[in-house]
Amino acid sequence: MAKGWSPDGFILDLDGTVYTGSRPIPGAAEAVAYLRAKGKRIVFLSNRGNISRRMCRERLEAIGIPCEAEDIILTSSVVSRYLAEHEPDARVWVLGEQGLRDELAAHGVRFAARPQEADRLVVTLHETLTYAELNDAFRAVRAGARIIATNADRTFPGEDGEAIDVGGLLAALTHTTGTEVDTVVGKPSPLMAEAALDRLGLPPERCMVIGDSLASDIAMGRRMGLRTALVLTGSGTREAAMALDETERPDWILDSLADIRRLLEEMER
């Protein structure tokens, strides 16, 4: 890295990096304000697919981080855009919450009237899942719907500890139907990184991704040529990071997002 190098754009994860559940991570709002004052471009990138960008913006504003909806890249918005652009005639059945439905509708995606009529089953996190909803998804796949998932994470950092993520729902569906997942749009998929870089208007070598997950945030960054920083406020640990092959480790490990100020000051000396 050239002396004096400093990223122009930042891709910030949300769960475990900016907030945990409804609780802000100490110093996160101040860190975002600092980056903006430095003229840095910022997008927020999350594998959350059960909320819409409007809902996410309201959550960020509630913890002191104002932003535009366009600066939020969620798997719910990316999967919606993917279907609208690549499969405009597909009829979808949703295993998920209203936030995903809102994004799909906003992108003009068509909904199937019955599970058996669906071309695609869209699966995301569903925190109030019922047996009937899971069984409808099962029937959609049995009738021929191909599975597209917002993400395949096994767990996510909840307010009171790790919680089952979309990977658990996918395991139930693939095990009972004998069908594999056709498409996953969430991190570490390049679809998410490309959406973020497109919004930033910058090449990957001028950007840094900061997140708490080695398997999604850091893996995506390494694959796409971004600089990477792991924060220890979520699922990732220093020990797990150092146990990785050198080509897979984060470039930096920070106690929290609040430490980005110190890191930038060191870079710019």
Portions of the chain given CATH number 3.40.50.1000: 9-47+187-267, 87-184
- For 259, the 3-state DSSP assignment is helix
| Cα-based distances in Å from 128 to 97, 122, 133, 171 | 8, 16, 10, 18
Least confident interval from 113-117, 157-161, 234-238: 157-161
Token reading at 121: 């089953």
Q: What pTM, to 2 d.p., does this model score?
A: 0.92
- Between CA 19 and CA 157 the distance in angstroms is 10
130-151 pLDDT tens trace:
999 999 999 999 999 999 999 9
What is the distance between the alpha carbons of residues 47 and 220, in angstroms, rounded to a whole number? 12
Instruction: Give 15's DSSP letter.
Output: B
What would the mean pLDDT of 221-244 be, rounded to a whole number? 96
For the domain covering 87-184, report its CATH number: 3.40.50.1000
**Residue-level pLDDT at 61:** 96
CA angle, 76 then 77 then 83, to 5°: 90
Q: What is the pLDDT of residues 157-212, one digit of tens each?
A: 777 888 899 999 999 999 999 999 999 999 999 999 999 999 999 999 999 999 99
Q: What is the pLDDT of residue 34?
A: 98
- Looking at residue 22, its pLDDT comes to 84
Q: Which CATH number fits domain 9-47+187-267: 3.10.180.10, 3.20.19.10, 3.40.50.1000, 3.40.50.1860?
A: 3.40.50.1000
* CA–CA separation, 97 and 118 (whole Å): 17
pLDDT at position 2 is 47
Where do we find the tokens 């870089």?
197
Quote the DSSP letter at residue 148.
E
